[in-house]
Amino acid sequence: MSGHSKESAGECRALETAVDAARRAVRDPRPVHISLTIQSWKMNNLDTIHRRERIVDLAALTIFRAVVRENGVTRAAAKLNRVQSNVTTRIKQLEEQLGADLFIRDGRRLVLTPAGETLLPYAERLLALADEARHAVRADRPSGRLRLGTMESVAATRLPGLLARYHQQWPDVALELETGTTGKLIERVREFEVDAALVATPLNPATLGELFETVPVFREELVMLTPRGHRPIREVRDIALSTLVAFERGCAYRAYIEKWYLEHGVRPARVLELGSYHAIVACVAAGAGVAVAPRSVLGLQADASNIAVHELPDIGAVETLLIWRRGHFSSALNALKETLVGQENAGTLAETVNLGADADARIRAGVGADVA
């Protein structure tokens, strides 16, 4: 048996095991222990019949997940390019197959029953495993869908050239990109909502635990941004403004700077939460507060003359990690990993660093000694 055949057989056994667990959990949502082996199948004279009974239609699970994500049949049908009656019928068939109601109607919306809540994580795992199995049998040529989460700073500064190169090399991969904070992205990977994500190393590395596999791909120097004319910052008490301008909680860089504040016995009087670095830099330039950002994002600012940049040696560089669920890997993700960590990226990274340096030079020319 070839290597790919063995992997495919393993994926099929894993699918069967997961389906069996899902069916049992929906009927009895107590923890189950699975000891299914390929030998137990062979000992059963009704091997084919029992396999067929255990397999839940993946298309039905796709429809079930879409109804949950889209909060109703109408939007799910539009998302899947199906008629509403077809979606309703497939949900009813799935309920009959599992022997449990998955939704109850609350006014005009559908609400998951306890059985539906139990099934949802199994459905996510089954669909992710099916995608992985499809990738495994085509491991020689990356293809299919790859859902990548990333922080906004990485999407803006690091990825454009790398993803263009990736698409040129692997045109059969449909890459879907979404942005978010490190906290949200870790959760998205955990829940199979994305296949992998580019996140900052969490303040507590144990956050990732044994569920994830990781590889470092970038290093970001964090700097503090203040309005032009602010005195040099050598410690927290040098900060003249009491407002911290930052992303929402879940942003790893915010966690690092808040820890720095607390270590020196200081707490920002308020935190102004914004959703983009452009908005954050604009607020800092207007005098609304101070902010922390990767030095690399400074190269994106068309006019940085109204801000000052201060180094934060106490924090140092923070690694950006590519993370994915352990055991959930594909040829498309492997190709992306190689693109991110390969030596050919040196030119792209150097160009990004130069952009940050150029921005620093423009700022220094405008504010002189205000930059520390």
User: Which of the residue ranges 25-29, 171-175, 297-301 would you say has the lowest mean pLDDT?
Assistant: 25-29
Residue with the two structure tokens 């992997």:
7
Based on the domain organization, do 336 and 307 belong to the same domain? Answer: no
Residue 343 DSSP code = G
Based on the domain organization, do 115 and 126 belong to the same domain? Answer: yes
pLDDT of residue 16: 59
Based on the domain organization, do 242 and 364 belong to the same domain? Answer: yes
> Which tops the pLDDT comparison, 298 or 185?
185
Measure CA 354 to chain center.
Answer: 28
Q: Which residues pair with 212 in a beta bridge?
A: 325
Helices (H), 177-326: 182-190, 252-263, 277-285
Based on the domain organization, do 117 and 179 belong to the same domain? Answer: no
Beta strands in 65-163 (DSSP E): 103-106, 109-112, 144-150
CA distance 138 to 363: 50
Helix, strand, coil shares of the chain, percent, nearest 5, are 50, 20, 30
What is the number of domains present in the chain?
3
**Containing structural domain, residue 61:** 3-136
- Selection from 117, 87, 133 nearest residue 22 by Cα: 117
Based on the domain organization, do 281 and 215 belong to the same domain? Answer: no
pLDDT beyond 70 at 371: no
Q: What is the DSSP string of 49-66?
A: HHHHHHPPPHHHHHHHHH
Based on the domain organization, do 180 and 325 belong to the same domain? Answer: yes
Q: What's the rounded mean pLDDT across residues 159-187? A: 93
pLDDT beyond 50 at 368: no
Based on the domain organization, do 206 and 224 belong to the same domain? Answer: no
pLDDT digits (tens, 9 = 90+) for 63-98: 999 999 888 898 889 989 999 999 999 999 998 888
pLDDT category, 254, cuts 50, 70, 90?
A: very high
CA distance 126 to 14: 9
CA distance 115 to 250: 30
Based on the domain organization, do 232 and 198 belong to the same domain? Answer: no
Burial class (CB in 10 A: 0-12, 13-18, 19+), 187: middle
Q: What's the rounded mean pLDDT across residues 100-106? A: 88
Based on the domain organization, do 237 and 361 belong to the same domain? Answer: yes
- Which of 136, 165, 185 is the endpoint of a domain? 136
Based on the domain organization, do 181 and 212 belong to the same domain? Answer: yes
pLDDT digits (tens, 9 = 90+) for 38-67: 333 344 444 443 444 445 788 899 999 999
pLDDT digits (tens, 9 = 90+) for 286-320: 999 999 999 998 877 767 778 999 999 888 899 99
- Which of 136, 154, 183 is the endpoint of a domain? 136
Q: Are strands 243-246 and 290-294 parallel, antiparallel or unpaired?
A: parallel
CATH assignment at residue 254 = 3.40.190.10
pLDDT of residue 279: 92
Q: What's the rounded mean pLDDT across residues 152-166? A: 92
Mean pLDDT of the chain: 80
Q: What's the rounded mean pLDDT across residues 320-348? A: 80
Based on the domain organization, do 18 and 54 belong to the same domain? Answer: yes
Exposure string for 232-269, b = 16+ CB within 10 A, e = fewer: ebeebeebebebbbbbeeebbbbbbbbebeeeeeeebe
User: Which of the residue ranges 181-195, 225-239, 270-284, 328-342 would you say has the lowest mean pLDDT?
Assistant: 328-342
- Which of 83, 113, 136 is the endpoint of a domain? 136
pLDDT of residue 306: 87
Burial class (CB in 10 A: 0-12, 13-18, 19+), 5: exposed
pLDDT digits (tens, 9 = 90+) for 131-141: 777 766 665 67
Based on the domain organization, do 90 and 203 belong to the same domain? Answer: no
Burial class (CB in 10 A: 0-12, 13-18, 19+), 152: middle
CATH assignment at residue 82 = 1.10.10.10
pLDDT over 70 percentage in the chain: 75
